[in-house]
Structure formats: C-alpha cells, structure tokens
Structure 1
Amino acid sequence: MKLLSALGLILTLGTAPAFAAPCSNTSAGFDGWKADFARLAIRNGVGQAGLDALAQARYSTGTISADRNQKSFKYSLEKFMQVRGATTIVSQGRKRLARDRAFYDALERIYGVPGGVLIALHGMETGFGGFMGDTPVVSAIVTLAFDCRRSDFFAPHALAALQLVDRGSISGATKGAKHGELGHTQFLPGNALRYGVDSDRNGRIDFYNLSDAMASTANFLAQKGWQRGAGFQEGQPNFRVIQEWNAAGVYQKAIAIMAAQIQG
C-alpha cells in the first residue's frame, strides 16, 4: 500500500509537529533526530517496547535509494501490467478464489468487498505473500520520517509503527518493504494501526497472517466507502475506493482489471 495524503493519520496521533532536530537528506544527525522523536513518541503514548525499537532503528540507505528511484508507476498501463506479472496474478488468483471461496465469501458478507479485489491486491503487493520485504519496518519508516523529502507525511506513520510494536503486531526486527509497508498486502503503519482486524481472534493483529491481512484489507476498503454490489472499474463507484489504496493511476487501473478477471 503506497502513499496517499496524510491518511487522516491524524487519528490518535494528531498532526506531526515540527521537531527541534532538523530533517536531513543524508544520514547526518540521525541519532540526534531520533532522540528528539523519542520525546514526541512519549508524548503520544508510546511505551517502552516502541521506544526500544526506535533506539535500535538504523538509517536505511536502501530505503532512501528506493524512494529516489520509483520508476514503474511511469509506465503505460500495458507495460506496467506486463512488468508486474498481471497474467500470472490473474491465473493464480482464480485458483486461490476457487480454493478458498468460503473464506472470501465470508469477507464479502462482512465488508462488501469481492474476493477478486482482495486477491488482486494480494498478488500485486507481495506475489500472494511470496515476498513481503527484506527491510526492517521500523528502520525504514523512521528513516523516511527523518528524510526531508516527505518528513511530514511519514512522521505520523513512524509514530504508528512504534505503537504497533507496543501492541505486539510487529517488532523492531519485523521486515517489510523499502517504504515500511508491512504484511501480505503491504499496509503503511498508520493504516495498519487504524484498520487492522484480528480476524482469527487470537488476541493479536498480525499482518503476516493471511486471515488478519485479508480482513484488514477488506476493512480498509469498506471504511473508505466501498459500496456493496457496485462496480469497481474506472468510472464506476468503487474505483474511487481503489484510488484510496494507491495513488498511481496505472496501479489503480491494473487492480480493477485483474480483479474483474479473477472474479470471473
């Protein structure tokens, strides 16, 4: 799940205030910034586990490199779908829907979101869980909060990541994508905190558990205004909700097309 506005991430966190320690476009000053951010985290109710994760966070050069080199969203729709393996996603997605029909039908009864949409997102984001990232989530998101390019956007997500550590949903060592997205469908931490669902009712929201991840994804779309039974192609009511998941036009159109093909 990629970037949108500040996601209303003002949720329990409030708008991220200016910090005494300045942002930077290099690693210089990172430790001082973290110390300042820790004070902000304490004021926002982050506990010891979250603070420990912040203290252990390392500046992620891989995250910065990825943030400066996002190219695939500039492709044409046809090229984007080719590069992202749309044909394979649809083929495997149909098999998954047939195999787990009862599971996806149950989610649709609760949230109104068809299984094809959830499966298309799952396939696009992580190849159905085949690769959920190799970068520590807390380090990635804290690095982006420190980086001057989009500090205001990522600072609330960094606070949310620390709260997720406190809740046991992730740890300081949990790995995700380069921009700190986590789990099967790559939630940014603020969205994970706000829309996460304990689908298997084991007392812990785990985005690396398929049941929790799919229910959380369906909940996100429902809370963003998904209209039960309405269309989701471009120009139809629910396409606007797909746009809430990812801001890139080619991504939105690809998801809509693949979801329809998976749904049959």
Structure 2
Amino acid sequence: MAALASPLSAAQCGNNSGGFNTWKASFAKEAAAAGVGQRGLNALADAQYASRTIAADRNQKSFKYTLDKFMQVRGADTIVAQGRKRKARNPAFYQSLEARFGVPAGVIIAIHGMETAFGGFMGDSAVVSAITTLTYDCRRSDFFAPHAIGALKLVDQGAINGATKGAKHGELGHTQFLPGNALRYGVDGNGDGRVDFYNQTDALASTANFLRQKGWQPGAGYQEGQTNFSVIQQWNAAGVYQKAIAIMASRIDG
C-alpha cells in the first residue's frame, strides 16, 4: 500500500513498479522547484524502475557479518597489500592530499580499495534510475530524495548522464559517492576545470574533502575510540565497514 513521504519528497511513494511513472511526474515538479534544469528533468523522465536495486536494498548482508568475516569476504589482506604498493608507487600524490585535506594516505587508499577494488569495478547499474527508484520506494524515501536531486543536478552540470553506471544504490565513481554528496563535496583534483568521479585524482581528492568537511582533525587518530573514527562512521553506516577501514588504513600506513 502506498504512503505519503515527508514534505521533502511529497510525491506518492510505492512498493512496486506500478506507480513509478506517476511518481516521476510528481517528483519532476519538486526537482524543478529545487533548481534542476531541463537536462536533469529529461534524465528523470527516462529513468527506469530498478528492480535489482530494490532486491539489493532488501538484502544487505554487511550488517550481519562479524568483523573477521567481513574482512575475509571483502579481501582485506589483498586490499592492504595492493594499497601499500599504490602508496609506494605514487607517494607525492598521497602526500599532496594529506597536505591539503589532512587525511592520511591509508584512509583514502583503504576506502578506494574497499569501494571499487581501486577502480576495478565501479558498478553496472544506471545511477539516475537506481537513485530515483530508491526515492520512490517507501522504505527510505526521505534519505534518498536529496541524492536524487543531486543526481539530476549532476546531469545538468554534465558530470554524469542518464546512462552513467554506478552501484546498485546509485553510488558513483572510484569511491562510490552518493550523488548528493558528490554534488556537495566534489573537487577538481587534477585541475582540468571539471569534477569527474570516474577520474581517480578527482575522486580521491573529493573523498579527502568529504572527510575533512565532516570534521576530520589532521594528525589525530582514526581507530575506534579515537577522534577521527566518528568521521569514518559518516562514510558508511555499517559498523564492520567502519572498523575495517580503520584497521586496513593503519596497516597500509604502517
């Protein structure tokens, strides 16, 4: 049975594909009022109900794993080994990120490895379709609505388009930014005048900027119980993920 979401997303949500097109027409009015332009609105109109996204949202296993099991499943030892090599190959780049944002290399590298195996797989779901489907779905409409608006504004800017692929929850690029966060925290890391989350330099600089803007304290610790662990917690909601990032980062930097 459909229900009404909060005023942030007043379009009528639903629990199956049946009302998606009607919802899109209503949400388009909200998007336009929020400043989304014609390119973004066109991408919204073309969005398809993402059944695989809904299936993934109903079956999130990370929250059920112990830390040891999570580390094993996600290949922590491999991420650490490859991460050390990446840091050694390009130390000046990671030093420049730490100088600018205060975030150590290990944290950025661990996130990059965990999210996409260092860019090896950045997702196969259409970002706009995934994020608008999650906004339409009654389960967490309020949470995803700002990210849907963000995705449509990214389309307006030319940073993504309706066919751009990302993860099943609409996360995009090397470190899997949710679109609203991409819009807010994205920075041009390579100086070419645009923010491209599928460019490694831009994506990692944006990741460091996200952490700094969320309160990262340069030089402070980031293990559980230390100052910066609360910032890592803002990157991902799963406790095992947060702890894994901190542990792997320390091993990479060590």
Measured against the shorter chain, the TM-score band is over 0.9
Q: Matched residue of 1:149: which SS?
A: coil
1:73 CA drift (Å): 2.4
1:17 CA drift (Å): 2.6
Q: Deviations over 1:152-180 (max 9, x none)?
A: 11111101100000011111100000000
**Structure-1 residue corresponding to 2:196:** 206
Matched, 1:134 2:124: yes
**1:50-129 superposed matches below 5 A:** 50-129=40-119
Ranges in structure 2 where 5+ consecutive residues have no aligned partner: 1-5
Q: Distance in 2 between matches of 1:35 and 1:255?
A: 40
1:45 CA drift (Å): 1.1
Q: Deviations over 1:117-143 (max 9, x none)?
A: 000000000000000000000000000
CA RMSD after TM alignment: 1.0
**1:25-64 superposed matches below 5 A:** 25-64=15-54
Instruction: Return structure 1 stretches of 4+ with deviation > 3 angstroms.
Output: none
**Structure-1 residue corresponding to 2:138:** 148
Count of aligned positions: 249
For residue 162 of structure 1, the aligned residue among 140, 144, 152 is 152
Q: Distance in 1 between matches of 2:192 and 2:233?
A: 32
**Structure-2 residue corresponding to 1:237:** 227
1:18 CA drift (Å): 4.3
Q: Distance in 1 between matches of 2:114 and 2:153?
A: 27
Residue identity opposite 1:151 in structure 2: S
1:72 CA drift (Å): 2.3
Q: Matched residue of 2:233: which SS?
A: helix
**Higher RCO (CA 8 Å, separation ≥ 6 residues):** 1
1:199 CA drift (Å): 1.0
Q: Distance in 1 between matches of 2:7 and 2:252?
A: 40
1:201 CA drift (Å): 1.8
Query: Is 1:141–1:158's contact at 8 Å kept on the other side of the alignment?
Result: yes
Q: Distance in 1 between matches of 2:55 and 2:85?
A: 36
Q: Matched residue of 1:129: which SS?
A: coil
Q: Distance in 2 between matches of 1:66 and 1:144?
A: 11
* Greater Cα offset, 200-209 or 121-130: 200-209
Relative to the length of structure 1, the TM-score reads 0.93
Q: Distance in 1 between matches of 2:19 and 2:69?
A: 40
Relative to the length of structure 2, the TM-score reads 0.96
Ranges in structure 1 where 5+ consecutive residues have no aligned partner: 1-14
1:203 CA drift (Å): 1.8
The share of aligned pairs that are identical, in percent, is 72
